[in-house]
Amino acid sequence: MPAQISLNDYGDGNLHGITNASVAHNVVILSMSESIGLSTYGTSGYAWSGNSYSNNYVLFAESSTAYDLEIDGVGAMATVNHNKFYSATGKGFEGSIDGISETSLANWRSYTGFDAASSETIGTSVSQQEADFAPAGHTSNQWSYLYSEDGESSFVDMQWNQSAGLWEGAESNCVVGAGWEQPGGISCDAVLTWTAAAAGTAVIAADSPITVQASCGGSGVNIRLLQNGSQIWPASGWKSLTNGASFTFPTVTATVSAQDQVRFVIQHAGANNDCDATYWIPTVVFHP
């Protein structure tokens, strides 16, 4: 939809006015023409107060609009600050408030008082779901498809299965597909890998909550994030997810050097890997 995040107080006449809503710590990728990071719409005659939009990461990929705030003087935000904006080639910050548009972050600050401590830089993004899975195409998207049989001490390239349209490891069902991974049932961890093309900062998130296939005798999975040989999330051990679970992946920021590899690791838990298909769509927003 054009508005990636929307605050709208109309609900069949049952809800009027929004107070103390906090929209924070999101990674918002504007991948449609004229798409909007945050849109607000309030019902005339009902008060909004205490609402904030702060500490978000917003990338302008195919958009010329960052905000659409305070439409017709209703749907006001009290605080908009500490956001990080990433401008793609030919696309930069633009905000609209009460019908008045500003086409630079500096002008926006001056006119609205918002985003005084926010910043803007050049950035790019890539989502694993959008990657070309054919062997000839995936390299340009900086993704590679690996497995490990020794707890991530070493890695082996998966092989492309043309008919199935996925990458396969050494064990049955140790695979990476478009937007999902499944580990093997013995010792084959599935390891989707993103490689940094240059030095900079990578903001690592997910397109949607991580979900594990509903139980049919499965025992769940363990997940973690590695940068080269070091674990960067969680702080230690693994994040365990049972079959049928849903988990919102937190934003992880990593300083990377050229050719650093960020690895999204999935390991089976318990006795087997039944129903361990894990729908995890990583997104990396990078800036030098």
Q: Could you tell me which residue, 7 or 71, shows the higher pLDDT?
A: 7
pLDDT in tens, 230-259: 999 999 999 999 999 999 999 999 999 999
pLDDT in tens, 46-83: 888 999 999 999 888 777 666 755 545 567 889 999 99
Contacts of residue 216, Cβ cutoff 8 Å, sequence gap at least 6: 243, 274, 275
pTM exceeding 0.85: no
Q: Which two tokens stand for residue 149?
A: 């049989």
Percent of the chain having pLDDT more than 70?
A: 89
Q: What is the C-alpha separation between 87 and 227, in angstroms, rounded?
A: 25
Phi, psi dihedrals of residue 160, rounded to the nearest 5°: -80, 130
DSSP letter at 249 equals P
pLDDT of 2 strictly over 70: no
pLDDT of 189 strictly over 80: yes
Residue 11, pLDDT score: 64
pLDDT in tens, 258-272: 999 999 999 999 877
Q: Could you tell me which residue, 237 or 91, shows the higher pLDDT?
A: 237
Count the Cβ atoms, other than its own, within 10 Å of residue 216.
9
The H or E element spanning position 266 is: strand 261-268
Query: Taking Cα atoms as reference points, which of 268, 147, 267 lies closest to residue 218?
Result: 268
Q: Which two tokens stand for residue 225?
A: 């994030």
Query: Taking Cα atoms as reference points, which of 93, 118, 96, 6 lies closest to residue 51?
Result: 6
Percent of the chain having pLDDT more than 90?
A: 49
Q: Could you tell me which residue, 1 or 183, shows the higher pLDDT?
A: 183
Q: Could you tell me which residue, 16 or 140, shows the higher pLDDT?
A: 16
Phi, psi dihedrals of residue 179, rounded to the nearest 5°: 90, 10
Got the DSSP string for 162-185? TTTTEEE-SSTT-EEETTEEE--S
pLDDT in tens, 107-155: 999 998 999 999 999 888 887 766 656 665 455 568 889 999 999 999 9
Q: What is the C-alpha separation between 228 and 251, in angstroms, rounded?
A: 18
Contacts of residue 222, Cβ cutoff 8 Å, sequence gap at least 6: 238, 239, 240, 241, 266, 267, 268, 269
